[in-house]
Amino acid sequence: NLSTVSEFVFVGLSDAPEIRLPLFVLLLLIYLATMAGNITLLVAISTDSHLHSPMYFLLGNLSLLDLLCPTITMPKTLGALLLEHKKISFPGCLFQHFSLIAVVGTEIFLLAVMAYDRYVAVCHPLRYPSIMSTKLCAQLAVGTWTTGIFNSLLHTSLVFTLSFCGPNEIQQYYCDMPPVLALSCSPTHSRELVILVVAGVLGSGACVLTVVSYIYILLEILARSSPGIWHKAFSTCGSHLAVVCLFYGTTICTYVRPSFTYSPHRDRVVSMLYGMLTPLLNPIIYSLRNKEVKCALKRVISQV
């Protein structure tokens, strides 16, 4: 008497009536602040001629990803808190899953490209304009988005071609991979292995590029004896390094592990960190550490 699942039901963040409304207001304010911060940063980068450089072009791509990430999950989450509408159709869950994995994957690759950009800026400052040309920046940006999309296509096809014929309650507030895999009534071990291998190869490749870039930056700093070199290097790389640590820490804790280690309560908190707080903090981190960005943001706000 098995039937194919046509919709899923989210567990949500809270069932307590006295908590749902304050939580709704809090998440709505965080979401609006995230939208305002990243949109303002995008407008500043696109309109200020001082920010028309490879570093800020890549930062604009990061802000766009930080706009998309909470927008994929927050409307449904806010609706569940306010209206108690926790259902999502099978195609809707598939699309949400695909979009989120594409954004997360693209951001991982983009952070690696941004680390390479910082390496060139610190280790080869005189050759920086010729190496990080407009053409190369465009190619790197297209490459990160393309790789993220194709990576998501593979993951989504492996997950949603499984059979779902039993429970349909997702132990999460959005269609995340581990809780969706846990609902399948088909064997998932071989597909989990493929997912872990692909994610491991691509993710470790991006991580290695990031780490190697910073190792070369550190060696270059140690090789120089000029005064103020540490302060200059930190002002150049500090914002990106903070964003990398924040993003990698929360993402790895959520995705780079098998499904039998899945803990619903813990992972809902962790996914909130990379899904909401990271997009909120990224523009703040860059604006606090960068005088050019602060000046451009002041000009945009004054014009508005």
Identify which of 2-11, 26-35, 247-256 has the greatest average pLDDT: 26-35
Q: What is the pLDDT of residue 1?
A: 43
Gap between the Cα atoms of 51 and 47, Å rounded: 8
Gap between the Cα atoms of 97 and 102, Å rounded: 9
In this prediction, residues 231-239 reach a mean pLDDT of 67
Q: What is the pLDDT of residue 2?
A: 47
CATH class assigned to 7-303:
mainly alpha
Res. 238: pLDDT tops 80:
no
**Domain boundaries in the chain?**
7-303
Beta bridge partners of 89: 7
CA distances from 251 to 32, 66, 151, 240, 270 (A): 23, 14, 16, 16, 8
Among the residue ranges 16-20, 255-259, 267-271, the one predicted with the least confidence is 255-259
CA distances from 40 to 17, 237, 290 (A): 35, 22, 15
Among the residue ranges 12-21, 88-97, 260-269, the one predicted with the least confidence is 260-269
CA distances from 262 to 5, 193, 278 (A): 22, 15, 22
Res. 14: pLDDT tops 80:
no
